[in-house]
Amino acid sequence: MSGIASTFSRSNELWANGHVLITAAASTDEIDEYRSAINDAVLRLSNETRSLGDRSTYDKAFLQVTNLWQKDEAVKSFVFEKQFARIAADLLGVEKVRLYHDQALFKEPGGGHTPWHQDKYYWPLDTEKMITMWMPLVDIDEEMGIITFASGSHAHGPINNVEISDESEELFQRYISENKFPIAKASSMKAGDATFHLGWTIHSASANRSSKMREVMTIIYFEDGARVTELTSIHQQADLDAWLRGKRPGEIADSEMNPIMN
Residue-wise pLDDT for 227-259, tens only, equals 999 999 999 999 999 999 889 999 999 999 999
Query: CB 62: neighbour CB atoms within 10 A?
Result: 24
Per residue in 100-155, pLDDT (tens digit) is 999 999 999 999 999 999 999 999 999 999 999 999 999 999 999 999 999 999 99
- For 49, 53, 84, 259, the CA distances from 207, given in Å and listed in that order, are 19, 14, 27, 34
Least confident interval from 60-74, 133-147, 171-185: 60-74
The count of C-alpha atoms lying within 13 angstroms of the C-alpha of 214, restricted to the half-sphere facing its C-beta, is 33
Domain 8-243 listed as CATH 2.60.120.620: yes
Position 153: which residue type? S
The beta-strand segments (E) located in the chain are 19-22, 63-66, 97-107, 114-117, 130-136, 140-141, 147-150, 183-184, 188-189, 194-198, 203-205, 214-223
- 3-class DSSP state for residue 67? coil
pLDDT tops 50 at residue 5: no
The partner residues of 220 in beta bridges, in order of sequence, read 101, 132
Q: What is the pLDDT of residue 1?
A: 42
Q: Is there a contact between 64 and 103 (Cβ–Cβ < 8 Å)? A: yes
Closest CA to 135 of 259, 257, 31, 210: 31
Locate the domains of the chain by residue range: 8-243
CA-nearest of 142, 249, 134, 139 to 201 is 134
Question: How does DSSP classify residue 157?
Answer: -
Confidence of residue 7 (pLDDT cuts 50, 70, 90): low
pTM: 0.94
Please count the other Cβ atoms lying within 10 Å of the Cβ belonging to residue 213: 19
Q: How distant, in Å, are the alpha carbons of 65, 147, 210 from that of 111?
A: 16, 14, 9
Given a contact cutoff of 8 angstroms between Cβ atoms, the answer to whether 240 and 100 are in contact is: no
Q: What was the pLDDT predicted at 8? A: 61
Closest CA to 149 of 185, 188, 199, 105: 185
